[in-house]
Amino acid sequence: MLPTLDLVKLTATENPVPIIGFISACVITLVVRYLRSPWRRLPAGPCGYPVIGNALQLKDSQWLLFSAWRKRYGDMFYLNAAGQPIVVVNRHEIAADLLDRRAGIYSDRPANIVGGDMMTEGLLLGFTHYSDRWRRMRKGAHETVNKVVAHGLHEYQMSEALALAKSALLNPASWDAYLRLASASLMLSSLYGERPLESEDDPRLRFISTFSERVTMALAPGAHWVEILPWMRYIPSTFAEWKRTAKAWNRAANDEFLRAFGRVQESFARGEDKASFCSTLIREADRYGLSPHENAWLAATMYSAGADTTSSSMSWWSLAMLAYPDLQTRAQHELDMVVGRARVPTYADMPHLPYICAMVKEVLRWRPVAPLGIPHRTIEDDVYNGYFIPKGTIVIANIWELNLDPKTYGPDSRQFNPSRYLDEEGQLLPGPPGTKDEGHFSFGFGRRVCVGKHVANHSLFIQIAMSLWAFTLNNIEGQKIDVDAFHDEGIVVRPMPFEVDIRPRFSEAMAILSGECELRGR
């Protein structure tokens, strides 16, 4: 071996050109590969730490953080959460280009190990991966909701709005609790055809409230380290309390949802075909190809999502009425002119109440209850405006920023102002260009747009109209109204607790409400 080593040393010493050439070729190859790598063309973004990237920066109130970063990094920027690429979009044109026009590759959902897999078995529709199962469940939800709307949903919504207004006059201090009760009761009646909820102590309400709270917290970005470090899912349950807890919640949810769906199946088998979401799923079982287990979870998805979001929007609207009392007066004047005080408002009045309709649009724009929506995920590499977006990237449309963008809604975009949706004659406008038919972005994008958006719009309309017809919401003496204070419940955001003084607008209001409620058995 010695002669050989000596020969190499001699060659390298006397004639180093081959060695230098080889090293130079390697360096040039690496530089060329780097220059040609698409990863060089990622959008700009904040610097992170080695290995973990921006993971520690993604804490609470991320929508506000992303809005602040927009000023520094632009309308679209890149983050790295421990190797997970994330693209945040703060401009609606970009969101539409990616999530609407390229929906074929932007419609998946990020993996969520605790909330998505362990607690809900991947059956929570809004978080289900883009797959054949999702297509079947989405089709079933979309078509069934439309059929239920056409066969009596308005009567359910009317009944709950009447009960809400009556309860508020009897006990104004429990206004926010009644908002939650009304939304949950509507979901229970329309989904399962069951009797309405009459009390906060009803075990059906307690369970769904607990389930919704657990799931929304588990699905919130950064709720568990295993979402950032997926290898943790392989830790045995013995050493991972979070796994034992998630599995226990899943067992409880499975039992409750299958039991609720089973009651509808039994009624259907007896020929008691009361119009409801679940009875329609059973009747159309062959059309949608869903198992009873999938149907049970599909109904649960609609229940938890609908109850949380509608009551949260109504809570934000109530706060707006305290902060902007002159707008409340204008809406009440419209109700007096169209409805009068001898009867309650109905859906037949909807085309003639443009200001109330504008209020619905505005509260959904002004305070989106899910300010980050639900993130999308790419299923293949993409290039947008020269920027590389790798396969598996989580794409977040910052709904908060899109809805409050002064470039879209004008210099008063952060104010609650329903008139932005009205023309000079007080009639509804279609909304600013690019804001979809709704005039805002709170219902999401592309193939993942909210399947219950029409139900939400109609529920908000009748609850707002009935409330303003019957009473006035006043601030409590000495209470400071802070429209920027909020309580983060995971995905859904509500205002911080506040008190409201509710007073009837005229002496006959309670008697009329009571009569209407009695006709409906409430």
pLDDT tens sequence across 253-306: 999 999 999 999 999 999 887 888 999 999 988 899 999 999 999 999 898 888
What pLDDT, on a 0 to 100 scale, did the predictor assign at position 147? 75
334 vs 233, residue with greater confidence: 334
Residue type, 173: A
Residue 448 predicted with pLDDT over 70: yes
Percent of the chain exceeding pLDDT 90 equals 70
Is the Cβ–Cβ distance between 394 and 86 less than 8 Å?
Answer: yes
Residues 455-468 have pLDDT tens digits of: 999 999 999 999 99
pLDDT at 3: 46
State the pLDDT confidence band at 371, using cuts at 50, 70 and 90: very high
423 pLDDT higher than 50: yes
Spell out the residues 6+ positions from residue 193 whose beta carbon is closer than 8 angstroms to its own. 264, 267, 274, 275, 276, 278, 279
The alpha-helical segments, DSSP class H, found in 99-153 are 103-106, 132-148
Comparing 201 with 388, the larger pLDDT belongs to 388
pLDDT at 413 (0 to 100): 97
With a CB cutoff of 8 Å and minimum separation 6, the contacts of 260 are 192, 278, 296, 299, 300
H helices of 201-276, where? Answer: 203-219, 241-269
Mean pLDDT on 80-92: 94
pLDDT given at position 5: 45
Counting DSSP H helices and E strands in the chain, the numbers are 19, 10
Q: Give the integer Cα–Cα distance in Å for 17 and 433.
A: 66
Residue position matching structure tokens 């050109």: 17
Q: What is the pLDDT of residue 272?
A: 81
CB 304 within 8 A of CB 211: yes
Give me the helix-helix angle, 175-192 and 154-170, nearest 10°. Answer: 160
Q: With CA atoms as reference, report the closest residue to 193 among 229, 151, 162.
A: 151
pLDDT of 208 reads 78
pLDDT of amino acid 150: 61
Identify whether the C-beta of residue 307 lies closer than 8 Å to the C-beta of residue 456: no
If pLDDT is split at 50, 70 and 90, which confidence band does 137 have?
Answer: very high
Q: Write the Ramachandran bin of 387: left for phi over 0, alpha for psi from -120 to 50, otherwise beta.
A: beta
CA distances, 423 to each of 215, 288, 354, 412, 431 (Å): 42, 43, 10, 17, 10
The answer to whether 293 and 281 have CB atoms below 8 angstroms apart is no
Query: Cα separations (Å) of 87 from 36, 185, 220, 224?
Result: 21, 38, 17, 20
pLDDT of the residue at 25: 60
Instruction: Report pLDDT for 33.
Output: 57
The Cα angle at residue 310 between residues 242 and 510, in degrees rounded to 5: 130
**CA 167 – CA 513 distance, rounded (Å):** 10
147, burial (CB in 10 Å: exposed 0-12, middle 13-18, buried 19+)? middle
Question: What is the distance between the alpha carbons of residues 390 and 377, in angstroms, rounded to a whole number?
Answer: 10
pTM listed for this prediction: 0.89
Tokens read off for 252: 């409880």
pLDDT at 238 over 70: yes
For 379-397, what is the mean pLDDT? 96
Question: 23-37, 70-84, 274-288, 473-487: lowest mean pLDDT where?
Answer: 23-37
Q: Could you report the per-residue pLDDT of 168-191, keeping only the tens digit for each?
A: 999 999 999 999 999 999 999 999
Between CA 220 and CA 471 the distance in angstroms is 37
CB of 76 within 8 A of CB of 91? yes
pLDDT band at 213 (very low <50, low <70, confident <90, very high): confident
Is the pLDDT confidence value at 346 over 70?
yes
Q: Report DSSP state, residue 422.
A: B
Those residues with Cβ within 8 angstroms of residue 115's Cβ, 6 or more apart along the chain or in another chain: 124, 127, 215, 218, 219, 223
What value does the CA radius of gyration of the chain take, rounded to a whole number of Å?
A: 27
Mean pLDDT on 237-263: 92
Strand partners, 395: 87, 376
The Cα angle at residue 323 between residues 322 and 329, in degrees rounded to 5 = 65
Report the percent of the chain where pLDDT is more than 70. 92
Question: End-to-end CA distance of the chain, in Å?
Answer: 99
pLDDT at 1: 45
Q: Which amino acid is at 498?
A: F
